[in-house]
Amino acid sequence: MSEENEKKRRTRRTQIAIERDVLKAVEELIEEVGFRNVTLTGVAERARIEPAVFYRRYANLDELFDHYTHKYDYWLANLAEQMPKNLNEEDTLKWVLQNLIQALWNNKGMQQLLIWELSDDNPITRRTAGLREMINDSLIQLLEQKFKESNLDINPIAATIISGIYYLVLHRKRSLFCRVDFNTRDGKERLKTGIEQLATLLFNYTSQQVENQRIADRLRAQGVSEEIIASCVFQK
């Protein structure tokens, strides 16, 4: 096909179709090579458009990235909408964390966005990371309320769990981690089971602390000394 005929063939697409092809092209390239390695030329070739057509829509590649990444703005919120109703706090945490693993596992675009946020500081990565933090806020507030009577600082604990999930999903094709091959079905199930066990430990520990405090308060009301209370209730 001649260059002239190729140009004619391209013009048959509607503006909506061209926009769809551009977004599809950038998505495919991001999943294949990551944000940092996508080029405007690559997008134009994949979408079968001339650079001039691209520039009529976007000022530059960053503007296209900004438009594209909005699809992930409410990724976690959309996940939370699927959560069953009337779960208690412990089951809510387990459900969110296990489904975070499941949702991220095969979502190459979201994986590449997390990698980009780590490697590049720019207005887009600051926006996407900041918005995700805002969306996470309701879960964090729930945990803060649940653990406020314990001596656990749940915020950095939750941050460690969530970031650990991110890292293990992103790293799983590179090598074993703690002698577990997370790039297998068995490794994935072990991760989900381990996260569930960790959540159980956190809630059991907190429940025991709260119960110990109630026992101590009753003993104080009966005039029992702090020394005896400490040795009988809070001894390690």
User: What pLDDT digit, counting tens, does each position of 29-81 carry?
Assistant: 999 999 999 999 999 999 999 999 999 999 999 999 999 999 988 887 788 78
Length of the chain: 236
- pLDDT of residue 8 exceeding 70, the answer is no
Q: Domain check: are 93 and 58 in the same one?
A: no
- Highest mean pLDDT: which range of 138-142, 150-154, 193-197: 193-197
Mean pLDDT value of segment 219-226: 75
Q: Domain check: are 111 and 159 in the same one?
A: yes
For residue 205, CA distances in Å to 2, 73, 202 come to: 72, 34, 5
177 pairs with which residues across the strands? 180
pTM of the model: 0.83
Lowest mean pLDDT segment, chosen from 5-9, 115-119, 139-143, 227-231: 5-9
Q: Domain check: are 91 and 184 in the same one?
A: yes
The predicted pLDDT at position 2 comes to 55
Q: Domain check: are 108 and 219 in the same one?
A: yes
Q: Domain check: are 34 and 122 in the same one?
A: no
Lowest mean pLDDT segment, chosen from 7-21, 68-82, 90-104: 7-21
Domain that holds residue 176: 73-232
Q: Domain check: are 59 and 136 in the same one?
A: no
Domain end point (choices 68, 95, 123): 68
Mean residue pLDDT of the chain comes to 89
Angle at 205 between CA 199 and CA 207, to 5 degrees: 100
CATH number of residue 39's parent domain: 1.10.10.60
For the chain, what is the domain count?
Answer: 2
Q: Domain check: are 157 and 44 in the same one?
A: no
Q: Domain check: are 121 and 89 in the same one?
A: yes
Distance of CA 22 to the CA centre of its chain: 26
The predicted pLDDT at position 103 comes to 92
Q: Is 73 helix (H, G, I), strand (E, B) or coil?
A: coil
pLDDT digits (tens, 9 = 90+) for 172-200: 999 999 999 999 999 999 999 999 999 99
Q: Domain check: are 39 and 62 in the same one?
A: yes
The residue type found at 228 is I
Q: Domain check: are 77 and 64 in the same one?
A: no
Q: Domain check: are 64 and 78 in the same one?
A: no
- pLDDT of residue 135 exceeding 60, the answer is yes
Q: Domain check: are 50 and 122 in the same one?
A: no
- pLDDT of residue 11 exceeding 60, the answer is no
Domain end point (choices 68, 89, 124): 68
